[in-house]
Amino acid sequence: MQLNQLAMSFAGKNLRFLRKQRSWTQEEFANKLQIKRSLIGAYEEERAEPKLEVLEIISQMFKLSLDELLLKDLAAEANDKGSYLEQRRKLKTTNAGNGLIYFVPQKAAAGYLNGYADPDFLDELNTFTLPMLTHGDYRAFEIIGDSMMPTPSGSVIVGEKIEKLDDVKSSNTYILLSKSDGVVYKRLIKNLKPKDTITLMSDNPIYEPYNLNTDDVLEVWKAVYILQKANSVQRWEIGQLANIVDNLQQQVSTLNKKLN
């Protein structure tokens, strides 16, 4: 019984290590194994024992024997200098000033509200670099929806960290993380009255601007690059353009009244 418990404890630890090695989220790993994401969490936290058929799939996937998966601490054996996770975190920290970009896909946006400052959550995210970006603190966010057309849904916005709202320039585009809205991509307008709010505007004028309390804002990222699929930009029809002009005129009139 003790041997079985030891083996299963290594199984859970090894599952986590192998998943991290491939930079997979629990959701991605679960999809590859065709099981529920909650089971991955249960296995890794040793609240449940992986079924034999799951272990066999993992063994084949990573070219390991069942004995290696069950009886060896793969993380400890990977490198005498430290675990893979520690090395990966150290590498990310070292490269953070050299333009390393954490990517927040749409499926991770909800969790980002709680995990944006959690190193363990950030380690779940994939990273990449762009040759035109060097020093700085960058993050990339996948946007969904048509509120910022003509920027198409599915585009990835690369943002540079803004430390203070005072550094925001009106009418420029930013990724905002707020307690009430989560992750949004908008144009920001700094308000004179009241001073403790900012106005968020969409590029698609069918969406009305709205105010957000500055105390609600957790992070601000200035949009520096937009990555999108080729031929994905939507074209406006004549009727749509006429409606856009009407909506813009109404919004300008409303903003002028607020400012006055």
Q: Are strands 182-190 and 173-178 parallel, antiparallel or unpaired?
A: antiparallel
What pLDDT shows up at residue 2?
38
The per-residue pLDDT for 143 is 95
Q: How confident is the model at residue 83 (pLDDT cuts 50, 70, 90)?
A: low
CATH 2.10.109.10 given to domain 99-259: yes
Evaluate whether 130 touches 101 at the Cβ level (below 8 Å).
yes
Q: pLDDT at residue 6 above 50?
A: no
Distances (CA, A) of 254 to 208, 213, 248: 10, 19, 10
Q: Is the pTM of this model over 0.85?
A: no
What is the rounded average pLDDT of the residues 148-173? 92
Return the domain boundaries, the chain: 2-78, 99-259
Q: What CATH class is the domain 2-78? A: mainly alpha
Burial class of 52 by CB neighbour count within 10 A (0 to 12, 13 to 18, 19+): exposed
Task: Answer whether 2-78 and 99-259 agree in fold.
Answer: no
pLDDT digits (tens, 9 = 90+) for 91-113: 555 555 557 899 999 988 888 99
pLDDT confidence of residue 220: 97
State the pLDDT confidence band at 88, using cuts at 50, 70 and 90: low
Q: How would you classify residue 63: left for phi > 0, otherwise alpha for psi between -120 and 50, otherwise beta? A: left
